[in-house]
Amino acid sequence: MKLPLTALSCLLFLSACASSPRVADSVARVETGAAMTFILVRHAEKAADGSNDPPLTDAGRARAQALAQRLSPVPVIAVYTTAFQRTRQTATPTAQEHGLPLITYDAKQPATEFAALLRERHAGQTVLVVGHSNTVPDIAAALCACQVAPMSEAEYDRLTTVRVDASGRAVLEVGRQ
């Protein structure tokens, strides 16, 4: 079921409030022509296998499924991940739920460049971005032109949403999955 943007906004706001208190709120001006929503998460729990590209643990796979279920009613139009299997495995259930391919982005690309690309490509749309503890806060900050708290290596449940209205006003919401 596809929801209009106002219903989407209410749904995401209520789900964030229901799962946890609002952690951060910030307003900024961002160049835009249509409302858009960016949902950002860190990859789910990864195996401690000593490799540079570990897979998800059982808990991580369960978290990825829960994210897909939570975003099922949300009209996600694109799903971005890095090339690492932990981000791809986190994003895959949501992408499958919406019939979307995974779009790979470079984790080393400057956050401001990636945010500009997202805003340019997805005016009027809702996008999921799965990244890393050292990239998600910077991408969110670049999207909202606001400060975003750093993410620890042990934090897997932060759900960051940046909403940009048609006038360019951005609002940051931080909740828990």
* CATH number of domain containing 104: 3.40.50.1240
Q: At 8, give phi and psi (nearest 5°).
A: -60, -45
The pLDDT of residue 16 is 40
For 23-73, the pLDDT digits (tens) are: 333 333 334 457 999 999 999 999 999 999 999 999 999 999 999 999 999
Domain count within the chain: 1
pLDDT tens across 111-164, in order? 999 999 999 999 999 999 999 999 999 999 999 999 999 999 999 999 999 999
Evaluate if residue 102 carries a pLDDT over 80: yes
Count CA within 13 A, CB hemisphere, residue 18: 7
pLDDT at 8 (0 to 100):
41
Helical H runs in the chain? Answer: 5-19, 58-71, 85-98, 111-121, 136-144
- 124-155 residues labelled b (16+ CB within 10 A) or e (exposed): ebbbbbbbbbebbbbbbbbbbbbebeebeeee
- Domain residue limits at 10: 5-176
The secondary structure of the chain in percent helix, strand, coil, rounded to multiples of 5, reads 35, 25, 40
**pLDDT above 70: residue 18:** no
Structure tokens at 176: 């828990």
Alpha carbon of 84 to those of 91, 107, 171: distances in Å? 11, 9, 29
* Strands 76-81 and 102-104, bridge-based pairing: parallel
The alpha carbon of residue 2 and the mean position of all alpha carbons in its chain are separated, in whole angstroms, by: 19
- What does the pLDDT read at residue 62? 98
**pTM score of the predicted model:** 0.82
